[in-house]
């Protein structure tokens, strides 16, 4: 079931006409569906069945306070990678005790803040980081809960920019070094070993690499247990892909169930860190066609959203569906490159898209709820888009469009 669907000629987000939302809030506009977020979150939560588990939504996918608040109300945990993300989670009503802190470059100040808040666990990505956490915890007279993020050297079969589980990637600790580092951690007085973590990449469309990685992690878990280091959780990371085009990723239920079954009755808590699978198809980016033009036989639809609003097409050549908000029959379709106003040849949202459109029409870029707004910027001094959450027939402006004045906030002229 899709909460973004067409009624006659018009696109709806739940019970709200997208055309009306654009009129009310302007474009470019991100529109999120609360019902979709909740449905996706429950799919993970329910599929784990009897296995003790915690769904820690990956905040980087979409960190709008209202999005985090929807998740917090469901009792979600959160996967964060910075002090800023933790502060957002707390502001949105999230529980620090359900937060895992990932990331390769945690600063001492960020570690101290997270310890102060009492997070669930640090996912430690290097031996040097382990030493830093010990030092910070000691200075605060606290005990830091830690997991090692191990790198199982599994090819996730995804885009090289978003693959993280190979030995040559910057992430995690080589799984072959893990036993030694766990032994070291067990002697460090201000650390409490909690679990193990593994995240092999993003937009994975098959279960196999996840299960291969988990096989290797389970060998490590059993090996550590024999040495008296008993873990209380396994964090399997995020990475489950979604359908942008013709991909057929496993359903979150199928994925979460396959993972839970692999544990084979072990009495251990399972942590999931899904980002994209919850948010991507819970959002669209609505944009208005400013002009249509043809250069050297190539048609361009110049729209008011650009690479600064949605960078995935430019950065990864990612394909996202682009559809008219209202269908029209009074013009013939043609193939267009859908491009923004930013001064870069690489500024496009889609290429060669068959569309029947006129200037002034609205387009929706689908699957934009994850890594859309969070990766947006002010390049070309463009204020960032507004964000709206729909809930049935109601809509709430959850982030106002930036003003021109806000663009130079914090900047100073020379005296």
Ligand X SMILES: N[C@@H](CCCC[NH3+])C(=O)O
Q: Given the rule CB under 6 A, which residues bind ligand PLP?
A: 58, 61, 79, 102, 199, 202, 237-240, 273-277
Does the annotation flag 239 for ligand binding?
A: yes
Number of residues that bind ligand X (CB under 6 A): 6
Q: What residue 237 binds from ligand PLP, ligand X, none (CB within 5 to 8 A, per partner kind)?
A: ligand PLP
The active-site residue, picked from 16, 56, 243, 343, is 343
Pairing of β 144-151 and β 121-124:
parallel
Q: What's the closest the beta carbon of residue 242 comes to ligand X, in angstroms?
A: 10
Q: Report which of 315, 299, 306, 253 is spatially closest to residue 278, judged by C-alpha positions.
A: 253
Q: What residue 79 binds from ligand X, ligand PLP, none (CB within 5 to 8 A, per partner kind)?
A: ligand PLP
Q: Which residues contact 334 (CB under 8 A, 6 or more apart)?
A: 299, 354, 355, 356
Does the annotation flag 274 for ligand binding?
A: yes
Q: What's the closest the beta carbon of residue 111 comes to ligand PLP, in angstroms?
A: 16
| Residue 269 lies near ligand X (rule: CB under 6 A) | no
Q: Report which of 75, 79, 69, 88 is spatially closest to residue 391, judged by C-alpha positions.
A: 69
Q: What's the closest the beta carbon of residue 237 comes to ligand PLP, in angstroms?
A: 5
| Residue 302 lies near ligand X (rule: CB under 6 A) | no
Does the annotation flag 316 for ligand binding?
A: yes
Of 36, 202, 281, 320, the one binding ligand X (CB under 6 A) is: 202
Q: Nearer Cβ to ligand PLP, position 85 or 273?
A: 273
> Quick one: how far is CA 59 from the chain centroid?
6
| Residue 163 lies near ligand X (rule: CB under 6 A) | no
Q: Nearer Cβ to ligand X, position 203 or 376?
A: 203
* 61, 275 Cβ separation under 8 angstroms: yes
Q: Nearer Cβ to ligand X, position 7 or 246?
A: 246
Cα–Cα dist 151/267, whole Å: 23
* 284, 13 Cβ separation under 8 angstroms: yes
Report the helix count and the strand count for the chain, using DSSP H and E.
Answer: 11, 21
198 in catalytic set: no
Of 262, 312, 353, 382, the one binding ligand X (CB under 6 A) is: 312
Q: What residue 88 binds from ligand PLP, ligand X, none (CB within 5 to 8 A, per partner kind)?
A: none
Q: What residue 235 binds from ligand PLP, ligand X, none (CB within 5 to 8 A, per partner kind)?
A: none
Q: What residue 312 binds from ligand PLP, ligand X, none (CB within 5 to 8 A, per partner kind)?
A: ligand X
Does the annotation flag 350 for ligand binding?
A: no
Cα–Cα dist 233/222, whole Å: 12
| Residue 162 lies near ligand X (rule: CB under 6 A) | yes
* 349, 387 Cβ separation under 8 angstroms: no
Q: Nearer Cβ to ligand PLP, position 279 or 284?
A: 279
Q: Report which of 194, 200, 213, 169 is spatially closest to residue 101, judged by C-alpha positions.
A: 194
* Cα–Cα distances in angstroms (integers) from residue 407 to residues 303, 305, 382, 399, 411, in the given order: 21, 17, 8, 15, 9
* Cα–Cα distances in angstroms (integers) from residue 181 to residues 27, 39, 105, 147, 232, in the given order: 51, 39, 18, 11, 17
Q: Give 37's DSSP letter.
A: H
Q: Give 92's DSSP letter.
A: T
Q: What's the closest the beta carbon of residue 77 comes to ligand PLP, in angstroms?
A: 12
Task: List, as residue ranges, the binding site.
Answer: 239, 273-276, 312, 316, 344, 371
Residues engaged in binding ligand X (CB under 6 A): 60, 162, 202-203, 312, 371
Active site residues: 343
């Amino acid at each position: 079931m899709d909460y973004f669907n067409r009624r006659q000629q018009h696109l709806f987000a739940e019970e709200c006409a997208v055309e009306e939302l654009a009129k009310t809030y302007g474009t470019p506009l991100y529109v999120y569906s609360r019902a979709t977020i909740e449905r996706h979150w429950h799919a993970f939560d329910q599929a784990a069945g009897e296995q003790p588990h915690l769904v820690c939504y990956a905040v980087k996918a979409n960190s709008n306070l209202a999005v985090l608040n929807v998740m917090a109300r469901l009792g979600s945990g959160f996967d964060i990678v910075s002090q800023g993300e933790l502060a957002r989670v707390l502001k949105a009503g999230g529980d620090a005790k359900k937060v895992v802190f990932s990331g390769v470059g945690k600063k001492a100040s960020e570690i101290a803040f997270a310890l102060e808040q009492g997070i669930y666990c640090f996912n430690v990505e290097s031996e040097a980081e382990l030493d830093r956490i010990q030092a910070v915890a000691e200075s605060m007279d606290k005990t830091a809960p830690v997991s090692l993020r191990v790198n199982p050297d599994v090819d996730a079969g995804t885009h090289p920019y978003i693959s993280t589980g190979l030995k040559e990637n910057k992430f995690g600790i080589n799984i072959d070094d893990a036993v030694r580092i766990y032994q070291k951690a067990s002697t460090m007085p201000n650390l409490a070993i909690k679990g193990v973590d593994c995240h092999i990449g993003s937009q994975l469309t098959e279960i196999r690499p996840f299960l291969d990685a988990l096989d290797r992690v389970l060998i490590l878990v059993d090996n550590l247990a024999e040495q008296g280091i008993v873990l209380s959780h396994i964090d399997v990371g995020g990475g489950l892909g979604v359908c942008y085009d013709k991909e057929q990723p496993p359903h979150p239920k199928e994925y979460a169930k396959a993972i839970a079954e692999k544990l084979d009755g072990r009495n251990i808590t399972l942590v999931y860190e899904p980002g994209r699978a919850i948010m991507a198809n819970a959002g669209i980016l609505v944009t208005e066609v400013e002009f249509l033009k043809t250069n050297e036989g190539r048609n361009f639809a110049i729209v008011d959203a650009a690479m600064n609003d949605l960078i995935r097409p430019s950065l990864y050549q990612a394909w996202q569906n682009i559809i008219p908000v209202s269908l029209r029959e009074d013009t013939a379709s043609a193939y267009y490159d859908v491009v923004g106003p930013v001064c870069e040849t690489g500024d496009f949202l889609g290429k060669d898209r068959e569309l029947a459109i006129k200037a002034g029409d609205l387009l929706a870029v689908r699957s934009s709820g994850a890594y859309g707004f969070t990766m947006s910027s002010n390049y070309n001094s463009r204020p960032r888009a507004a964000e709206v959450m729909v809930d049935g027939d109601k809509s709430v402006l959850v982030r106002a469009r930036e003003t021109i004045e806000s663009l130079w906030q914090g900047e100073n002229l020379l005296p």
